């Protein structure tokens, strides 16, 4: 991002030039509504269907399994309500203690309405307690909802066998794949998910557009009603420019994964972590021992306050975050790090640095200088 050292890609990513170019015609002369029965409408409808196929290819799905939404939050809310409606005789839900707020807040509301929500814990590296998970999946469970990767630490969940356990118990499986989309290979059919949430702005696409994956044959009632759009699965005129951008971003992400460009990002991340550990006494990298997204570094600076350090970094143009961007203004300890049972000094001093495909080696070297200098200044060294 021009003028900034931008290491907050897990919050959102810069829209790539090629993505913007794919969107621009649909913000101007190509103004048709996909539901309109005239040439301009047909042109827009063809774009939406082509984009549906492109997004599906990125996640190992079929085009008919993809419904466009306003983003991952809408997709998640739709999936949760759909699953509970399909299992109306069951009142238990299984999730993890470290999910995104798009999952945890609706579940908290459902809990107030009488549902029993089982929050499975994680270990000190952010790995899911699989024994507790499988023990919790029984004939009373309507829904199991889990993320594929944690947005704060980057820790990847091992979902092997979860779909089979859900099928055996008659439960529905939803996965929040927002943070892993475009960063690691993702095959929703191989995972065995019934539903999955996707979002464009995490892989260099535009904000305000996402998708709900619903496995072939999985019918559900729409969250938004009022029209026949998206095969009556989501009412409202489609965001055609956003969908065009999402499709181009998905295609570019497939190319990046195939070319090994994410390994370059991993190497930059590892260089950043090792250099910080060597330059600043006491630095701790969270989830370092777990399989992680290649771009995410959650780092504790014991003895420092995360908000103060974040402010010092921002004064020098370095963009990072203290926990999830969705809760940046709340100034509460990260529920993810608390669930990992980390010492309070680590929780209170942790920052997330998340790289992207646009991050350069030169930016990492400059970021290292800024972090080391800022930490030393705050410690009075």
Arithmetic mean of pLDDT, 221-241: 87
Query: pLDDT at position 235, please?
Result: 81
Arithmetic mean of pLDDT, 361-366: 97
How many residues comprise the chain? 381
Tell me which of 27, 235, 326, 345 is the catalytic residue: 326
Average pLDDT over the chain, rounded to whole? 94
For residue 156, what are its two tokens?
């990847």
Higher pLDDT, 58 or 235: 58
Tens of pLDDT, residue by residue over 61-102, are 999 999 999 999 999 999 999 999 999 999 999 999 999 999
Ordered structural domains, the chain, with CATH: 5-14+259-378 (3.90.1150.10), 17-256 (3.40.640.10)
Q: Considering only CA atoms, which of 167, 180, 157 is closest in space to residue 97?
A: 157
For residue 298, what are its two tokens?
């959650």
Query: pLDDT at position 223, please?
Result: 83
Q: Considering only CA atoms, which of 87, 184, 105 is closest in space to residue 144?
A: 87
Tens of pLDDT, residue by residue over 255-293, are 999 999 999 999 999 999 999 999 999 999 999 999 999
Q: Is residue 324's pLDDT more than 80? A: no
Sheet holding 92-96, edge to edge: 66-69, 210-214, 195-199, 172-176, 141-147, 92-96, 116-120
Percent above pLDDT 70 for the chain: 97
Higher pLDDT, 107 or 237: 107
Q: Is 326 a catalytic residue?
A: yes
Tens of pLDDT, residue by residue over 332-352, are 889 999 999 999 999 999 999
Q: Considering only CA atoms, which of 95, 197, 176, 89 is closest in space to residue 137?
A: 95
Dist. CA 143–CA 84, nearest whole Å: 7
Query: pLDDT at position 331, please?
Result: 65
Arithmetic mean of pLDDT, 296-302: 97
For residue 149, what are its two tokens?
């990767």
Tens of pLDDT, residue by residue over 168-205, are 999 999 999 999 999 999 999 999 999 999 999 999 99
Query: pLDDT at position 1, please?
Result: 46
């Amino acid at each position: 991002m021009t003028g900034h050292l931008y290491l907050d890609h897990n919050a959102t990513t810069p829209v790539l030039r090629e993505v913007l170019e794919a969107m621009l015609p649909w913000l101007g002369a190509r103004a048709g509504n996909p539901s309109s029965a005239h040439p301009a409408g047909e042109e827009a409808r063809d774009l939406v269907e082509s984009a549906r196929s492109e997004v599906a290819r990125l996640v190992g799905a079929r085009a008919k399994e993809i419904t466009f939404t306003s983003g991952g939050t809408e997709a998640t809310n739709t999936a949760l309500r759909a699953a509970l409606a399909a299992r109306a005789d069951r009142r238990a839900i299984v999730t993890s203690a470290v999910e995104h707020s798009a999952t945890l807040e609706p579940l908290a509301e459902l809990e107030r309405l009488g549902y029993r929500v089982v929050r499975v814990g994680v270990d000190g590296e952010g790995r899911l307690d699989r024994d507790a998970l499988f023990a919790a999946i029984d004939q009373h469970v309507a829904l199991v909802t889990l993320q594929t990767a944690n947005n704060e630490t980057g820790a990847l969940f091992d979902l092997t066998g979860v779909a089979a356990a859900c099928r055996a118990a008659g439960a529905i499986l939803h996965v929040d794949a927002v943070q892993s989309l475009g960063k690691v290979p993702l095959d929703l059919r191989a995972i065995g998910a019934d539903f999955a949430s996707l979002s464009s702005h995490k892989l260099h696409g535009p904000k305000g557009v996402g998708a709900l994956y619903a496995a072939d044959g999985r019918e559900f009632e729409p969250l938004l009603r009022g029209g026949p759009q998206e095969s009556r699965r989501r009412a409202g005129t489609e965001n055609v420019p956003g969908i065009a951008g999402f499709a181009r971003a998905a295609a570019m992400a497939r190319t990046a994964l195939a070319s090994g460009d994410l390994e370059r990002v991993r190497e930059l991340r590892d260089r950043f972590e090792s250099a910080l550990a060597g330059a600043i006494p006491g630095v701790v990298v969270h989830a370092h021992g777990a399989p992680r997204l290649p771009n995410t570094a959650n780092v504790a600076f014991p003895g420092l306050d995360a908000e103060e350090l974040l402010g010092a970094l921002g004064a020098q143009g370095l963009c990072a975050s203290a926990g999830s961007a969705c809760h940046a203004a709340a100034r509460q300890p990260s529920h993810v790090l608390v669930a990992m049972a980390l010492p309070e000094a680590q929780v209170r001093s942790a920052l997330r640095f998340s790289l992207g495909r646009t991050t350069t080696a030169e930016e990492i070297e400059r970021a290292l200088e800024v972090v080391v200098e800022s930490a030393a200044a705050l410690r009075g060294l």
